[in-house]
Structure 1
Amino acid sequence: MTTRIPAAAEGSFPLPRDPVPQPAPALSTLPGHFRAHWQTLSVPERAQLLAGWDTRELPLIEEDPQGDPAVRAVTFLYRNPLATAVILSANAMVHPDTVSACEFEALPDGVWALTWRMPADWESSYRITVHTGALPAPWQSADDRRAVRLAADAGGPDPRNPALGTGMAGAPTSVLRLPDAPSAGWLATPTPAAESGASIMGEPARPRLSGRRNAGVPGVPTAPRQVLGNFVRGLELRQVRDRQSGQLRTLWLYRPRVSGGRRTPLVLLHDGQVWAKYQNLPATLDRAVADGVLPPIHVAMIDSVDVPTRSRELSGPKGGVDFVARDLLPELRQALPVTQDPLQTVVSGASYGGLAALWQLARYPQAAGTALAQSPSLWRYDLAEPLLAVQEPLRVRIQAGRYEPSIHEPAGRLNTVLAGSGVDTAFRSITGGHDWAWWHPWLIRGLSDLFSGQ
């Protein structure tokens, strides 16, 4: 028999707000940068580069030509003699006002190049899309931001970049981490649902294990866990009844290999299907625990089902929030050697999942008292009053990318308000967008900070 956990009064909910259009990011390009280098190469050197024998890993990363030590010149390369337009779709950078800054420059021999000046700690996923034919490229003729972004993102990962990532639906992306991004030796290679990509510099698509510079991981990452349908080898597939809807909800349970003989912290993670199937989070957790970055923990990765269900269940104060407190947590605490302490029970997620994590604390602080919210969709709700109304101790940790201003700015404001009222809170600004490329490593860093000393 489970104990009913009281919830905050529904009358205290603030009203949801409409989405806020993102402004165009500030992009600094270096037109002609690679062209100048290309013109210095001999015929054999050009042939070597075109044949893919050049040992330099792409993208090319150089010191800032303008001398700023906090900036790097990043050059992306593509080769296709039939291409009439090529665009880089880096997370949060494509906007109707930045299309020209995202398009590659045509060089001789079918080579295309694009150089950006970017902060030296930038972390991003990206794809490259090519257009052939006389008509304008789809991203050139699109008339709204969503259409531009989808058209620019229709290509594939960069085969000359060995670091792979994946998005919400498992589609493969390339990942770039510049030298000042924190190292992540425990980060395992994601496992995209499918592998595709354009031929770059004459090479066929050949996704490889995460490499030295881009991923910050050792040369031989932990092997991905096998995924067969909903079954992920090494994880326990469970279904828990949602008493309110009557439906069975799916989750993947990570058990630590060594528990130390005591009850462990518990992490509840939204969008569990992405973490379990595509992000290869279990392998990352294995390594982080083995390396002492994390203590032994249990992690329940909660399936968000599909886009309509996710939007309905995670975008507000009810639905998934009620399920976690009323059904999931009591069952997990009864079945597993996990803590009963709300402050050692962490709810986490990204985007709507991050918003749901904050609502969890506002509505059911006696069930879970710690939130690690990544890019929480705070454009939708102002949670200052609901969180400040909580009488129990809370720990709030918020992470947001500087290239997602409609999230980054309200996240910083919420942290300031909470801190001013004595709440244990912290805000981390990441040089990135709305992006799994940084959500994965910064989830581990956030948990490590929360559990340090255990």
Structure 2
Amino acid sequence: MTDKKEYTSPRIASLKEALSSGDNAALESFWQEIAEHGAPLMERIEDDPEHYLVTFLWRDEGDTQNVVVFSGPAGFTDPAKNQMQRLLESDLWYRSYRVRSNLRQTYMLSHNDPLTDLDWKADLGTRLVADPLNPQIFAFPKDEDSQNDHGFTISVLELPEAPPQPYITPRPDVPKGRVEKHRVHSEILNNERRVYIYTPPGYDSESEPYALLLLFDGPAYIEMVPTPTILDNLISEGKIPPMIAVLPDSLDGETRSRELPCHQPFVDFLKQELLPWVRERYHITDDPARSIVGGSSYGGLASSFVGLRASEYFGNVLSQSGSYWWESDPEDGIPQESLTQQFIESPRLPVRFYMEVGLQERNASDTSMIITNRHLRDILRLKGYEVHYTEFNGGHDYLCWRGTLSDGLTTLAGQFISKL
């Protein structure tokens, strides 16, 4: 949990003292320092080696009424409590937070914020913008197949001890797999979607069938989580066997919110339409013990539901920040965590799990993502499932998932090597 108490940056305190004594050159020197090193400020805390003081900054151009920090250490609730303050009568606005030294998270700023609840669709890229003083950004690229998607960028906060992400960058000496884009029509769902297929370097249709990885939200796991690069690097190091990845699109927000949260017709589409379509064209295994289904958020929820309803196809579930708070019908009196309840009521199946969740994934009640992931973990273990569970110091964030995907793959697919 991030400490929401207000803290004072020693660097800002020193600058305030200099300005109060008439040293106006100190402010320009400060801004030159920020231009060279970038924001936010990161300062060690005396006698507290596990935490840093992080100070977000804004340079006023003469029209600033307020500046609010969103996400990162600020979270998303109550923007009024995450406003920056102005340093004396200067052009410097700032806000400090005490955070653990291994935090990795994205954040946004809002200049002259209305201090109202967020509207995600309207506010991203308009009300919420990247930090102009921070050169580190995370891009949500434009979807070339959508006329309404223009893409946007947000800012990156990485503390010095944030875990390395060694597999997300292409390596010049590593052979590259191939990605092909198809369109697949579904009679069951009455729609058509893009499906990306990754084949590993040296793909051979006459070899032993390849292990299978199915990841939901395909474009996100191509662009924001560079899955092909991650697979190339892991295969090259011998961490996982060569495998084929199938990455179907989720079309749009409305379709995604209908199909991914425990929707039986979607499971039927996978079993009766998508997998047969893939098998006609690519040399994949039909062994569930060498097949992984995975995703993040609703995709993590969907992967566990597929594991429950289609264990004869998928014997491994890779869940990144699964939305296990979901309830099937809020109006009918059924308790929350509907999927967890289904696992309680079902016999144990031959399915292995890798589950992870971020320590900063908290909602207004300050509990849901972490508590519900831990609850499902405990239920699965009590039922006798093999569950590999981990928590990272970050948010509900592709910035984090792109690094931890390799952990899930090596945990689950690493064992495939011994079965070849």
Query: Pairwise mapping of residues 125-136 of structure 1 onto structure 2 (< 5 A)?
Result: 125-131=106-112
User: 2:370 is matched with which residue: 392, 408, 415?
Assistant: 408
Q: Distance in 1 between matches of 2:279 and 2:73?
A: 39
One-letter amino acid matched to 1:35: I
Alignment match, 2:69: 88
Shift of 1:307: 0.7
Partner of 2:80: 99
Tell whether the 8 Å contact from 2:2 to 2:99 is kept in structure 1 after alignment.
no
- Counterpart check, 1:332 vs 2:278: yes
Structure 1 length as normaliser, TM-score?
0.74
Deviation at 1:52, TM superposition (A): 6.0
What residue number does 1:238 align with? 182
Structure 2: 5+ residue stretches without partners? 142-148, 327-336
Contact 2:348 2:384 in 1 (8 A): no
- 8 Å contact kept, 2:324–2:340: no
Question: Which of the numbers 9, 29, 35 marks the counterpart of 2:6?
Answer: 29
After superposition, what is the alpha-carbon deviation per residue over 1:305-336, rounded to whole angstroms, capped at 9, x for unaligned?
00110011111232332212222123323422
Cα-to-partner distance string for 1:334-383 (whole Å, 9 max, x where unaligned): 42232222122111111111111010011110011111111211111333
Aligned-residue Cα RMSD (Å) equals 3.1
Distance in 2 between the 1:333 and 1:436 partners? 30
Alignment partners' CA distance in 2, 1:52 and 1:130: 22
What letter corresponds to residue 349 of structure 1 in structure 2? Answer: G
1:157, distance to aligned residue in structure 2 (A): 1.6
Question: 1:33 Cα shift?
Answer: 4.2
Rounded Cα–Cα distance in structure 2 between residues aligned with 1:316 and 1:92:
32
Rate the CA distance shift 1:386–1:369 in 2: closer, same or farther, 3 A: farther
Q: What TM-score, normalized to structure 2?
A: 0.80
Match of 2:380 among 418, 422, 427: 418
Mapping 1:259-298, distance limit 5 Å: 262-298=208-244
How far apart, CA to CA, are the structure 2 residues paired with 1:436 and 1:334? Answer: 32
Tell which deviates more after alignment, 358-367 or 243-252.
243-252
What is the alpha-carbon distance in structure 2 between the residues aligned to residue 109 and residue 334 of structure 1? Answer: 67
Q: Which has the higher contact order (CA 8 A, sep 6+)?
A: 1
How many angstroms does 1:43 deviate by?
A: 5.2
Which residue matches 2:54?
A: 74
CA deviation vs aligned residue, 1:218-260 (integer Å, no higher than 9, x gap): xxx679xxxxxxxxx9520112232313433321112222459
Three-state SS of the structure 2 residue aligned to 1:181 is coil
Q: CA deviation at 1:293?
A: 4.8
After TM superposition, give the deviation of residue 28 of structure 1 in Å.
3.3
Letter in 2 for 1:69: P
Counterpart code for 2:354: R
Q: Distance in 1 between matches of 2:95 and 2:74?
A: 14
Percent identical among aligned pairs is 26
The equivalent residue for 2:194 is 250
For 1:72 and 1:37, locate their aligned partners in 2 and report how far apart those are by CA, in whole Å. Answer: 17
Q: Could you say what secondary structure the match of 1:239 adopts?
A: strand
Counterpart amino acid of residue 247 in structure 1: N
Aligned counterpart in structure 1 of residue 164 of structure 2, from 183, 186, 196: 183
Q: Which residue of 2 aligns with 1:201?
A: none
- Residues 96/423 of structure 1: CA separation in 2 closer, same or farther (3 Å cut): closer
Checking the alignment, whether the CA contact within 8 Å between 2:189 and 2:269 is kept in structure 1 is no
Cα distance in 2 between the residues matched to 1:97 and 1:247: 39
Structure 1 residue 412 displacement after superposition: 0.4
d(CA) in 2 for partners of 1:81 and 1:57?
Answer: 18
Aligned length: 380
Distance 1:292 1:162 in 2: 35
Question: Is this contact kept in 1: 2:55–2:97, CA < 8 A?
Answer: yes
| Contact persistence 2:299–2:322 (CA under 8 A) | yes
User: Cα 1:408–1:29, aligned 2, differ >3 Å: closer, same or farther?
Assistant: same
Aligned residue runs from structure 1 range 34-433, under 5 A:
34-39=11-16, 44=25, 46-51=27-32, 54-65=35-46, 67-82=47-62, 83-91=64-72, 93-97=74-78, 99-100=80-81, 102-107=82-87, 108-131=89-112, 137-139=113-115, 142=116, 144=117, 150=123, 154-167=127-140, 170-188=151-169, 235-258=179-202, 262-380=208-326, 381-387=337-343, 389-390=346-347, 392-403=349-360, 404=362, 405-433=367-395
Name the aligned partner's letter for residue 344 of structure 1.
R
Q: Tell me how far apart the structure 1 counterparts of residues 262 and 139 of structure 2 sit (CA, whole Å).
A: 26
Superposed displacement of residue 45, structure 1: 5.2
DSSP 3-state at the match of 2:48: coil
